[in-house]
Structure 1
Amino acid sequence: MECPRCHSNKTHKYGHQRGKQRYKCNECGRQFIEVKTERGYDEKTKLLCLKMYLNGMGFRAIERVTGVHHTTIIGWVKKISLRLKDVCCFTLINP
């Protein structure tokens, strides 16, 4: 197993984390797992939730339909609204 930080092959097994084998580098001390899994939701799910919100559905109703937690959806809406504010302010300043 190669260390992602120093690329040394001097590593050893260092327990399990969430059912996956962990390793520790003897050279730099970095702890890592063999394969990193992708976390989060795909763009299709995000867009669906945002479209539902823009069409008037509440956060908890979207949660019931899609299975995505309502606080996650709120975070997505806040992030998009910040980008929209930047676009709106730019168009107002530069007509």
Structure 2
Amino acid sequence: MPPAATEQYSDADLKAFARAAIEASKIQQDAAVPAEEKQPKMLAAVQAEGLDPVKFNEIAQASQANPTLRQRIQQVASAEAQPGAQPQN
């Protein structure tokens, strides 16, 4: 994947992806959620963040193949997790 692929996703996309991925992971690991309900709940979590499931999967696949994109996702996610953190320009 060319390095330019990291630029095709906005910070807003990546923040939404990170939040949705964290929520989907919680659902996946929640033993109280029956297996047949996990997929619909994860889909709802992705959509609740304003992401199309196809775009979510594209970002997931791109981040696995592209360490630069993965690092950028971690940066926007950690900035989001710190209340009062100022975005770096």
Question: What's the TM-score, normalizing by structure 1?
Answer: 0.29
- Would you tell me which structure has more helix in proportion to its own residues? 2
> Could you say which structure has the larger radius of gyration?
1
Question: What's the TM-score, normalizing by structure 2?
Answer: 0.30
